[in-house]
Amino acid sequence: MEAASRDELREVQNSRLQATVQNAYENVEFYRETFDELGLTPDDIESVDDLSKLPFTTKEDFRDNYPTGMFAVDMEDVIRIHASSGTTGKPKIVSYTQDDLDVWSKAVARCLAAAGIGSDDIVQNAYGYGLFTGGLGLHQGVEELGATVIPIGGGNTQRQVEMMNDLGSDVISCTPSYALYLAEVAEDMGIDIRDLPLRTVIFGAEPCTEPMRNEIEDRLGVTGIDIYGLSEIVGPGVSIECEAQDGLHIWEDYFYPEVIDPNTGDPVEEGEEGELVLTTLAKDALPVLRYRTGDLTTLDYDTCECGRTCVRMDNITGRSDDLIIVRGVNFYPSEVESVVLEFDEIAPHYRIDLRREGNLDQLEVTVELTEDFAGSISDLKNRIGKRLSNVLSFTPDELNLVEYGNIARTEVGKVQRVYDHRGQ
């Protein structure tokens, strides 16, 4: 399926979509009501081109139907539950039948194979195990592929380095920020990760800019491969970069992608940036139609140099929810990140604090000097400040340069870079 002709793929998508819609209509009250209100029946959705007749599913729909209202099967047929931690409110609860887990495992195994990983590789899985889909999702994909998985989970960074050293892990899966932290900890232990057999980092769960990827590749002496997924759709394994590192292949026989204008909901022209919307095509316990991911990307339908025909999405460097608005100026944290990574004198860590003083928003950016920094701080501060003003079209009210190690590292879960103290 990864290299099927577009026509062949379309046929599979259409027949799987019909089954998915039927399942959603018959077994999920939320979807039945949606169809009924619009005067639609499952027969009106014959092909993926008909999807636009349907409204979007949103994270609020998951919240409104908490905990199990979106499920299409009885608990008796559910063999696994996961949950995605919302930053606010209740988590989104997701479920899987045995068939769903099989599809998920295959999707992740495909991802790993596309990244050049094979049965003789040792994959150290540093994603958190538990309700988060990252840990178990990656784990079962490695097993499906027949490679070796070390289920070390998040944290325990010194032990991670020891395991890498002692067992010769050639692949590690973790967040991009954690990959850099690992390199720092290894250095403190007197080990240069570049000397170890490690050759690939599969990173995901956090947005990662191109300069950040380069930093990871340099510091760890690896190829950095971006994997993408979200619990509401399945977990990690929706898409991944192949060895060409030129966009993430979406497994379109399992997940149907659309890109929309986040403001109007209309589809954008091919190649234009917009919000990714996904429909599951092969999930029984939790069929999801037109889910708004909040992730901004573009789609490229040209055949990749690897020979795969499955569409490629651009790396996610921003979520529509992440947009920071300060005194009427909009920017994404990734724009700050790209500036931070331009300067050799500062470490690849930063934090953004937003405050309100009186009625005025204040933007504070904090960056960290490298361990061996010896130059003039005021000169460096000037240069960083100027560059930030250029890129953001906005001058931060405060720019702090702190000593190496003063910005908290995240060992488990996703790194937090933006602290919004407004409205508190």
Q: Which residues bind Zn ion (CB under 5 A)?
A: 242, 244, 304, 306, 308
Strand order in the sheet with 274-280: 255-260, 274-280, 291-297
Q: To the nearest whole angstrom, how small is the minimum distance from the Cβ of residue 397 to Zn ion? A: 44
Question: Which residues, 6 or more positions from 374, have their beta carbon under 8 angstroms from its beta carbon?
Answer: none
Q: To the nearest whole angstrom, how small is the minimum distance from the Cβ of residue 1 to Zn ion? A: 14
Q: 314-325 as b/e, with b when 16 or more CB fall inside 10 Å?
A: bbbbbbbebebe
Q: To the nearest whole angstrom, how small is the minimum distance from the Cβ of residue 38 to Zn ion? A: 38
Helix, strand, coil shares of the chain as percentages rounded to 5? 35, 25, 40
Closest CA to 122 of 44, 224, 200: 200
Q: Which is nearer to Zn ion, 98 or 303 (CB)?
A: 303
Q: Which is nearer to Zn ion, 51 or 306 (CB)?
A: 306
- Does residue 236 have a cis peptide bond before it, meaning omega lies within 30 degrees of 0? no
Q: 93-108 as b/e, with b when 16 or more CB fall inside 10 Å?
A: bbbbbeebbebbbbbb
Look up residue 229 and give its two tokens: 């997924």
Q: Which is nearer to Zn ion, 111 or 288 (CB)?
A: 111
Q: Which is nearer to Zn ion, 3 or 377 (CB)?
A: 3
Q: To the nearest whole angstrom, how small is the minimum distance from the Cβ of residue 308 to Zn ion? A: 5
Asked if residue 79 lies in contact with residue 96, where contact means CB atoms within 8 angstroms, the answer is yes
Q: Which is nearer to Zn ion, 116 or 385 (CB)?
A: 116
Q: Which is nearer to Zn ion, 85 or 303 (CB)?
A: 303
138, burial (CB in 10 Å: exposed 0-12, middle 13-18, buried 19+): buried
Q: How many CA atoms lie within 13 A of 179 on its CB side?
A: 35
Q: Which is nearer to Zn ion, 181 or 255 (CB)?
A: 255
Residue with tokens 């997701």: 94
Q: How many CB atoms lie within 10 A of CB 6?
A: 13
Q: To the nearest whole angstrom, how small is the minimum distance from the Cβ of residue 143 to Zn ion? A: 24
- Name the DSSP class of 239: E
Q: To the nearest whole angstrom, how small is the minimum distance from the Cβ of residue 390 to Zn ion? A: 34
Q: To the nearest whole angstrom, how small is the minimum distance from the Cβ of residue 152 to Zn ion? A: 29
Q: Which is nearer to Zn ion, 67 or 116 (CB)?
A: 116
Closest CA to 130 of 91, 90, 167: 91
Closest CA to 238 of 255, 257, 213: 255
Asked if residue 164 lies in contact with residue 158, where contact means CB atoms within 8 angstroms, the answer is no
Q: To the nearest whole angstrom, how small is the minimum distance from the Cβ of residue 313 to Zn ion? A: 12
Q: To the nearest whole angstrom, how small is the minimum distance from the Cβ of residue 249 to Zn ion? A: 6
Q: Which is nearer to Zn ion, 248 or 341 (CB)?
A: 248
Q: To the nearest whole angstrom, how small is the minimum distance from the Cβ of residue 380 to Zn ion? A: 40
Detail the DSSP E strand segments found in 65-219: 80-84, 92-96, 122-125, 148-150, 171-174, 200-203
Asked if residue 162 lies in contact with residue 418, where contact means CB atoms within 8 angstroms, the answer is no
Q: Which is nearer to Zn ion, 59 or 308 (CB)?
A: 308
